[in-house]
Structure formats: structure tokens, C-alpha cells
Amino acid sequence: MDQTQEKRHRIKLLAVDMDGTCLDGRSRMSRETVEALREAARAGITVVPTTGRNLHCLPHRLAGERDIYRYVISSNGAVVTDCRTGKDLFRSMIPKETSLGLLRDCRRTGAGITAHLHHEYLIQGRLLVLLGRLIYGKDARGVYRVKSMERTIARSRYGVEEIQFYFLRPGVRERLEKLLKRTRGLTWASTSIYVEVFSEKTSKGMALAALAERLGIKKEETACIGDGENDLPMFRAAGLKMAMGNAVPELREKADIILPSNRRGGAAKGIRLCLPR
């Protein structure tokens, strides 16, 4: 038995990314993927949806399947929630004053602004609301429009999980990155259309390690499946690492196993590889 096969046979915790992994290019989760997750849960594996989404925008095909999962890692690791008790087990928030200072500094950049606050997805401006509902579709239960993100955060008693700035005009990205480099205590990741900002102590990997420690599960007893750059910290925290066929090159290089793409049922195959033989 090779080393990868040995890892597969002792998995107790499986962290699975959502967008680009369990969901196809149209944000749909197949019946096969749901059934594979159910098989893993029945086999005694702790299945943990691990997502950049806020908790209330968890894919609707999974949200009602509480027999499959108990714990969720949301907002790229800012929060770990016990869905059975409704309590957050781990939080890594952007301090309120840091959030407000950043928003004040970004007023004149022309960026669109969204944020994750207390499991909800808050959007400033009608255009981004339409975009949010288009992206999330039936999963948009936790999407809300606010008139002023600064005022909403200032009045809230909750910490900020994540802030996203959208590049709605030319030059916005460059101006934002200059501001971010001057702001302490933050980390960020950019795509072609937005930058997402977190506490420097936030990552899927830190959240996964914290949950595994709480449950008494060793690193070599954990597995993960992902596709994006934000899954790299999760790979460092897991014993068995599986990358989707559509994953970014950096993730594929770190993977123990390369699966088919999210359009070809790769997640279901990876989940079933973790089942006890």
C-alpha cells in the first residue's frame, strides 16, 4: 500500500470547498456530490463545508442536509460554526476600528463595497445587489443591501469577517492595493474583479486546524478538497490534499491527488476516496 492509500484509509475529518469544487460553473451542486457527502457522514467522517461564502449563503442544496454536516468553516476561515448549537467555535475578525479606518480611506477610490458581518452578506449599492443575487441565485438568503457600510459596521456589535472591494473603474485596483499595504493587521487576496480583505490571522487552514484540535483529530486524519488560492492554507493543515482538475497550478503542485474537474464530478470522486475500505 503506497503512502497516499495509507492516508485515505484513516480519514476522520474531511474539509470540502464549495465554489469551484462541490459546485459546478453555474453554482449547482449535483445529486451525486450530495450523495457522496452523505456516504462520508454515514461512514463516521466529520464532513466540514469550507467556503469563502458567509454562513447564510451556504449552497441551498446543502443547507437543509444537516445529517451530512455539523460544522461549517465560512468567510475563508474567519468563523467556525457549530450548526447544531448555533454557536461560533472560532472567530478571527477584522477589528471594528481597522474596518472603519479602511472604509474611510477607500471612500474616493470608486470601489464597490461588500462585507460579511454576523454570517450575512452586506452590499452597498444597487448594482452590486443585483450582482450578488445573480452570483448566488437561490443561495442568496443572506444577502442584504445597506445604504452606508461605514454606518452599518459602526452601529453593529459584531466583528467584521471580511470586506470585499470591487474594481468598478479603471485604476481602482492600484489605489486599493496602495491603501492596503499601509494598513496593519490585514491580509488580502485579489481576483480580476475584486479584492477580499481579512484579518491577518484568518485562513481556511487556521480554522481547520482549530476545529481539528477541538475535536481531537490529528493532522494525518484530516483530508481536504479545493480548487483556489484561498485553499492553500487548508492544504497545509490537512494530511491528505486533493485538488480539483480545474484548480490553480499552485494548488495542483501541492496535491497528493488530482481529481477530475468540478464539471466532471471530481468532488464526489474525492469524497469517496476517503471512505473506509
Contact call for residues 55 and 72 (beta carbons, < 8 A) = yes
Question: Which residues, 6 or more positions from 135, have their beta carbon under 8 angstroms from its beta carbon?
Answer: 27
Say yes or no to pLDDT of 82 above 90.
Answer: yes
Residue 32 and residue 13 share a domain? yes
Q: Is residue 2 part of a domain?
A: no
And the C-alpha cell for 57? 449563503
Do the domain assignments include residue 1? no
One domain for residues 183 and 216: no
Q: Indicate if 191 and 207 belong to the same structural domain.
A: no
> Is the residue at 185 inside a domain?
yes
State the total domains in the chain. 2
Tell me what pLDDT residue 161 has: 98
- Return the percentage of the chain with pLDDT > 90, whole number: 74
Domain boundary among 160, 180, 199: 199
User: What is the pTM assigned to this prediction?
Assistant: 0.92
Q: Which of 267, 219, 260, 214 is nearest to 51 (CA)?
A: 267
Based on the fold, state whether residues 185 and 214 are members of the same structural domain.
no
Q: Identify the pLDDT of residue 168.
A: 83
Residue 65 — pLDDT band, cuts 50, 70, 90?
Answer: confident
Instruction: Verify that 39 and 167 share a domain, yes or no.
Output: no
**108/87 same-domain check:** no
**pLDDT given at position 189:** 84
In a shared domain, residues 63 and 14 = yes
Per cent of the chain over pLDDT 70 is 91
Q: Which pLDDT tens digit goes with each residue over 114-159?
A: 999 999 999 997 766 666 666 666 666 678 889 999 999 999 999 9
Structural domain contains residue 3: no
- Residue 192 is predicted with a pLDDT of 81
Domain membership flag for residue 62? yes
User: Looking at the predicted structure, is the pLDDT value of residue 1 above 60?
Assistant: no
Lowest-confidence segment of 100-114, 126-140, 189-203 by average pLDDT = 126-140
Give residue 26's pLDDT: 82
One domain, residues 144 and 120: yes
Cα(233)–Cα(235) distance, rounded to whole angstroms? 5
Using CA atoms, how far residue 133 sits from 55, 76, 153, 154, 170, in Å, is: 16, 20, 22, 25, 24
- Of the three residues 175, 199, 223, the one that is the final residue of a domain is 199
What CATH number did the domain enclosing 25 receive? 3.40.50.1000
For residue 127, the enclosing domain spans: 97-199
- 203 contacts 226 by C-beta, under 8 angstroms: no
**Ranges 81-85, 183-187, 232-236: which has the least confidence:** 183-187
Over residues 242-254, the mean pLDDT reads: 97
- Which CATH number is 150's domain given? 3.30.1240.10
What are the distances in angstroms from CA 176 to CA 19, 167, 203, 254?
25, 9, 21, 30
Backbone region of residue 80 per phi and psi (left: phi > 0; alpha: psi in -120 to 50; beta: other values): beta
Mean pLDDT computed over every residue of the chain:
91
pLDDT (0 to 100) of residue 93: 97
